[in-house]
Amino acid sequence: MRARYTLLMPASRSRNTDWHKSLQQVLERRGALELAVARPESASEDGVDIIWRSQLIALHEASVEVESPQALGRTVQLKEGVKLVAAFVIGQNRFSFHTSILSGPATTAHTLSLFLALPESIERCHRHNDRFDLQGLQLPQATMWPLLEPRSVGVAERANELAFESHTRGETVSASGGEALLPNMGPSISGTLMNVGGGGVGIRIASNEAGPLSRQRIFWLRIALGKDNPVPLVVTGKLVHTHIDSMHNTYAGMAFDFSFNPEHQKTVAAQIAMYVQRAQAKQILPR
């Protein structure tokens, strides 16, 4: 069963041909929308925002379908009333708009559908140095180390699991999240978490730090999830593809790899679920 979201155009709104033509181009290229829980105006600067990449499925007379965001094979649970930022790319240009989840019935017995309000307008994202401005979103920082002995991740992952368990019990944990014991790895490189997919992440890396990507395929990843989630997400990642973006950064597609410690997948899934719950709770939802 594939879960889907539907972006619904209110009946009182006439079709905006500009956004329709733009999304038609994305659809024809089998592209995706990027979705993130919108940052409240009162949100602190040290928070972070995760973007989910969701494939565009279809354009209908009054709606747009996209795949439901996924993480480790699970549907990301987004609640009615939650405000989102959506974005898409055409050529070297990125566009974004605000939307929110509306109530609506499932279209079939086998498809979970959500309805997202279409935007009043779509804005072109401005380019600032090596990045695009995405409606004020603060993307997480990611650090990658080449793994010299992949099997050495077990002890470090277990320390991370124990720190997360302490955090869920309400105990105070350090920002290092149990990283006193680390795997056997090489020098680190830094990047920005651009999106999360069903079984991995996309990380943007500056050109001057991308050298190790041509020599190494397995990395130890550390992703900071903000002050509200002090235990970082740590996981083994396998480099599956790279490409150079329009600003000459390297985009690295990393697949999560739990073959060296299958039990760690539960902790990663729980950390992502907790992040989503807290991000939504910051918004004032309608009754």
Largest CA-CA distance found in the chain, in angstroms, rounded = 60
> Both tokens of residue 213?
């990507």
Q: Which two tokens stand for residue 188?
A: 């680190």
Q: What percent of the chain has pLDDT over 90?
A: 41
Amino acid at residue number 36: A
The residue extents of the domains of the chain are: 4-132, 141-281
Domain 141-281 matching CATH 2.40.10.220: the answer reads: yes
Angle between helices 153-168 and 264-281 (to 10 degrees): 40
Collect all residues with Cβ–Cβ distance below 8 Å to 31 and sequence separation of at least 6: 25, 55, 56, 88, 89
Q: Which residues of the chain have pLDDT under 50?
A: 1-2, 8-15, 105, 108-110, 177-178, 287
How long, in residues, is the chain? 287
Query: pLDDT tens digits for 106-140?
Result: 554 335 666 777 777 788 887 655 555 666 788 99
In three-state secondary structure terms, 97 is: strand
Q: Give the model confidence (pLDDT) of 63-111 as tens digits.
A: 677 787 888 878 888 888 889 998 988 887 888 888 888 765 455 433 5
Residue 167 near residue 231, CB atoms below 8 Å: yes
pTM above 0.85, yes or no: no
Rounded CA-CA distance 174/178 in Å is 8
